[in-house]
Amino acid sequence: MKLYMHAAACSLSPHIICRELGLDIELVQVDRKTHRTSDGEDYLAINGNGYVPALMLDDGKVLTEGPAIVQFLAEGSALQPEIGDIKRNEVQSYLNFITAELHKPMVLLFNPTYASVHGEIRALISKRLAWLNDRLAGSYLTGEAFTVADAYLFVCLNWSPWTDIDLKQWPDLHGFMARVAARPKVREALQAEDLQAFDADGVYFAPQAYLASAGRVGEPVRP
Ligand SMILES: N[C@@H](CCC(=O)N[C@@H](CS)C(=O)NCC(=O)O)C(=O)O
């Protein structure tokens, strides 16, 4: 299987799931500007929307949209509860919440076109994060078991420093980040994308090349 990705983007979520499940996956980088892939293909022919992630199966079938990809990958594993278990629906509820209420609004904070409404968008995201922080009772979103929703949340919250969202105001979310970052397979995925912790708590990760280029100044890590 091939996973089309950008470093530190939402494609890191299915990447983490592949590592957690021990799946054999080929990572294929996509150039954001040219849409050429690192193995020489036209990415627009694979996903006409141009964005990552996309998963290409060994038979050539392509699955797009992160929440669908992670559920496909994790079906039948401990990362995705079984049909009939309400926790499965809770995981799906969180995947939808993350994609609609966090991922997409956070993407807008990277886009200067929306600069005039960034304050309002940040305020809305903050309300959602406060709600989430209050619900986090256990180690992970649905309790003590790590699921596909946790990987996705971790990846989106990793963009906090670049969107001027200080996660420390929500201690449970900050603790969640530290817990997920400490998972061996998550660390493996971060390393494979050449991402390095840059904060004292080891909670946020960015490409080494970017960090090396002068103290976080320059092109932000775009989702
Ligand atoms: N609805 C898509 C959104 C994916 C998305 O926003 N991908 C971003 C990276 S996080 C991207 O590839 N952006 C570059 C672009 O839009 O060209 C999903 O959930 O998979």
Same domain, 147 and 174: yes
Same domain, 112 and 199: yes
Instruction: Say yes or no: CB of residue 4 within 6 Å of ligand 1.
Output: no
Same domain, 202 and 92: yes
Where does the pLDDT of residue 218 fall: very low under 50, low under 70, confident under 90, or very high at 90 and above? very low
Write down which residue in 49, 74, 99 finishes a domain: 74
Q: Is residue 31 part of a domain?
A: yes
Instruction: Give the Å distance between the CA of 115 and the centre of ligand 1.
Output: 19
Instruction: Give the Å distance between the CA of 49 and the centre of ligand 1.
Output: 8
Instruction: Say yes or no: CB of residue 155 within 6 Å of ligand 1.
Output: no
Q: Are 56 and 133 in contact (CB under 8 A)?
A: no
More confident residue, 223 or 24: 24
- Torsion, Cα 66 69 74 75, to 10 degrees, reads 130
CB neighbours of residue 133 within 10 Å = 17
Same domain, 50 and 143: no
Same domain, 94 and 62: no
Q: Are 29 and 6 in contact (CB under 8 A)?
A: yes
Q: What is the CATH number of the domain that holds 170?
A: 1.20.1050.10
- Take residue 26 and report the two structure tokens written for it: 């080929």
Residue-wise over 158-190: b if at least 16 C-beta within 10 A, else e? bbbbbbebebeebeebbbbbebbbebebbbebb
Same domain, 207 and 148: yes
pLDDT in tens, 60-119: 999 999 999 999 999 999 999 999 999 999 999 999 999 999 999 999 998 999 999 999
Conformation bin of residue 35: beta by default, left when phi > 0, alpha when psi is -120 to 50: left
Q: Is residue 207 part of a domain?
A: yes
| Mean pLDDT to the nearest integer, 117-137 | 97
Instruction: Say yes or no: CB of residue 223 within 6 Å of ligand 1.
Output: yes
Write down which residue in 20, 46, 74 finishes a domain: 74
Instruction: Say yes or no: CB of residue 3 within 6 Å of ligand 1.
Output: no
Where does the pLDDT of residue 198 fall: very low under 50, low under 70, confident under 90, or very high at 90 and above? confident
Instruction: Give the Å distance between the CA of 50 and the centre of ligand 1.
Output: 8
Number of domains the chain is built from: 2
Q: Is residue 65 part of a domain?
A: yes
Amino acid identity, residue 68? A
| Mean pLDDT to the nearest integer, 116-125 | 97
Q: What is the CATH number of the domain that holds 51?
A: 3.40.30.10
Instruction: Say yes or no: CB of residue 66 within 6 Å of ligand 1.
Output: yes
Amino acid identity, residue 198? F
Element (H, E) at 196: strand 195-197
Instruction: Say yes or no: CB of residue 68 within 6 Å of ligand 1.
Output: no
Tell me which DSSP letter residue 172 carries: H
| Three-class DSSP category at 14 | helix
